[in-house]
């Protein structure tokens, strides 16, 4: 689970870095106003798509983790019930 959290943190950092880097590059580039605005819009759309991909991946990881936790919890409940039945039969 720590690896999955690390993956999510990495992708969030990647997106944040891309946003900051893109904004700085666009603002420092020697272009005219309309060209700069067009480039900012294009990069904004590109970054939006990347962010959506990161969110989708995070949701998949969260769903997979939830399914594993639920399966483990059900397994533990089953073991506990079995142990209780065994204890009652022996006692």
18 Cβ contact partners less than 8 Å away, ≥ 6 residues apart? 47, 50
- The per-residue pLDDT for range 17-41, each reduced to its tens digit, is 888 888 787 777 777 778 878 888 8
Work out the mean pLDDT of the chain and round it to a whole number: 84
53 is in which domain, residue-wise?
2-90
Separation CA 11–CA 37 (nearest Å)? 26
Q: How many domains does the chain have?
A: 1
* pTM higher than 0.75: no
10-residue mean pLDDT series, the chain (91 residues): 73 83 77 80 89 90 93 91 81 64
Per-residue b or e along 73-82, where b marks 16 or more CB atoms closer than 10 Å to that residue's CB: eeeeeeeeee
């Amino acid at each position: 689970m720590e690896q999955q959290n690390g993956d999510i943190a990495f992708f969030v950092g990647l997106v944040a870095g891309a946003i900051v880097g893109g904004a700085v590059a666009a603002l420092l580039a020697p272009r005219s106003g309309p060209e700069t605005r067009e480039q900012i819009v294009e990069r904004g759309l590109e970054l939006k798509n990347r962010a959506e991909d990161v969110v989708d991946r995070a949701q998949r990881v969260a769903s997979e983790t939830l399914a594993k936790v639920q399966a483990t919890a059900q397994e533990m409940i089953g073991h506990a019930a079995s142990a209780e039945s065994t204890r009652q039969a022996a006692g």
